[in-house]
């Protein structure tokens, strides 16, 4: 029995009964189909036959081609920005004060135009032209970044993980799409999102571009649609595995870095902070009916289509999440959205046991509470907890004493504001874990301890 059907419940004071519907009560549409949508940042859909080169893979306008900039203009001429120079007249009463004013004006003009070097500024403002320095003289200061970045910097963190990040391309008879991946073993194991490789059916090929420029083939080791995770095996034995950290130690406001291949641009590094933790987010590919809800790390580090499966790292250079989804403000008619500062990653603590099972058995098990669930709402229409529907006989909820129509408000002390939040909280645990469940029954607050069951690798059974 699935855990995604909400119950039919009677009217209760302050709470409206909810109609039957899926556990994720508002399945969010694909790119560009809703004003505020969540979706997995894939590297685009496979190219359709007849689609022109450079055309947006989802049917939008053509991508701009890289080339010369648009603000090149014409040469300003030899006398720019001062005009023809004239010999100075007889010195007035206060010549030095005039000279200072001219120098100040020169600095402003040059700083704005960014077209004249420091030596040219000196020549144009110095009365003694016989000692003008060469225009090839080096600039003062240390403009170049240090060769060795300090610990805790974005540069240092990125340098540690870039050798362990890859670009993944999946090609079939309909076209190709790209995503990202993280090397987890020297002999070629790479973790990515399920929706990155979900289209690799019979006859499809998977190619991995390594950070050193090499391109190797890969095969699928195991996939798990419920957590949107997959492991592939690249044909290489000399890779550099990333260091996996702990997402449980993250704090809101902490600096993080995202690495991946947005829009196919491999080895792209962006930085930001942890914006929120345990955010219930829908990820996956709704076209292939492989969406999931997970307790995400929210970040404002730029994440775009193609970043899926890439690394979210802390400033120590350790992987703390796997980038999986973004929210976009793109409206109807916009085939694919981009970054607006709302990116989401699967916590690495949740991913580790799934990845281990995929490597060992090709499939994974998941914790189960044994209930269907929907949103509980107050009389003003706001969600206020997760209302339990059918309780599976002999399941974890049944054994703990939970009943249909109970409204769960917290799990292990973390507030539960919706049905999706309860699903995400359960999926953050493993089978056999004990969790404290706070709930309201007939207006009375209560709590129980439940021992989570297992789906035995059959999430739909």
Distance of CA 202 to the CA centre of its chain: 29
Nearest to 449 by CA among 27, 429, 461, 275: 429
Token output for 348:
């690495």
Residues belonging to the active site: 195, 228, 308
Residues near 72 by Cβ (< 8 Å), separated by ≥ 6? none
What's the token pair of residue 79? 């006398």
């Amino acid at each position: 029995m699935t855990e995604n059907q909400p119950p039919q419940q009677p009217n209760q004071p302050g709470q409206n009964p909810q109609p039957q519907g899926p556990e994720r009560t508002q399945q969010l549409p694909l790119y560009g189909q809703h004003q505020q949508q969540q979706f997995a940042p894939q590297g685009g859909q496979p190219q359709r036959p007849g689609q022109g080169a450079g055309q947006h893979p989802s049917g939008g306008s053509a991508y701009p081609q890289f080339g010369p900039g648009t603000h090149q203009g014409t040469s300003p001429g030899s006398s720019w920005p001062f005009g023809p120079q004239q010999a100075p007249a007889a010195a007035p009463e206060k010549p030095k004060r005039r000279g200072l004013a001219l120098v100040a004006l020169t600095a402003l003009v040059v700083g704005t135009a960014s077209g004249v070097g420091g030596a040219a500024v000196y020549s144009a403002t110095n009365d003694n032209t016989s000692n003008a320095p060469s225009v090839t003289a080096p600039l003062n200061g240390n403009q170049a970044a240090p060769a060795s970045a300090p610990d805790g910097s974005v540069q240092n963190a990125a340098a540690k993980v870039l050798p362990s990040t890859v670009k993944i391309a999946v090609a079939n008879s309909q076209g190709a799409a790209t995503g990202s991946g993280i090397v987890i073993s020297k002999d070629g194991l790479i973790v990515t999102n399920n929706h990155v490789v979900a289209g690799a059916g019979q006859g499809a090929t998977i190619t991995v571009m390594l950070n050193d420029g090499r391109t190797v083939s890969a095969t699928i080791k195991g996939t798990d649609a419920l957590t949107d995770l997959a492991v592939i095996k690249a044909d290489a034995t000399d890779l550099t595995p990333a260091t996996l950290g702990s997402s449980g130690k993250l704090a809101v406001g902490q600096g993080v870095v995202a690495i991946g291949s947005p829009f196919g641009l491999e080895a792209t590094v962006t930085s930001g902070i942890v914006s929120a933790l345990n955010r219930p987010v829908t990820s996956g590919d709704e076209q292939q009916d492989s969406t999931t809800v997970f307790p995400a790390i929210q970040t404002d580090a730029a994440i775009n289509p193609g970043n899926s499966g890439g690394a979210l790292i802390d400033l120590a250079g350790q992987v703390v999440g796997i980038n999986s989804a973004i929210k976009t403000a793109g409206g109807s008619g916009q085939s694919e959205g981009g970054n607006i500062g709302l990116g989401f990653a699967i916590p690495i603590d949740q991913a580790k046991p799934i990845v281990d099972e995929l490597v060992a058995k090709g499939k994974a098990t998941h914790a189960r509470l044994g209930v269907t669930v929907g949103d509980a709402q107050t009389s003003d229409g706001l969600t206020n907890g997760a209302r339990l529907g059918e309780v599976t006989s002999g399941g974890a909820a049944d054994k703990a004493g939970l009943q249909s129509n109970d409204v769960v408000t917290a799990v292990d002390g973390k507030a539960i504001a919706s049905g999706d939040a309860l699903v995400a909280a359960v999926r953050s645990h493993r089978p056999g874990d004990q969790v404290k469940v706070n709930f309201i029954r007939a207006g009375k607050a209560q709590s129980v301890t439940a021992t989570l069951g297992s789906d035995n690798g059959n999430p739909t059974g």
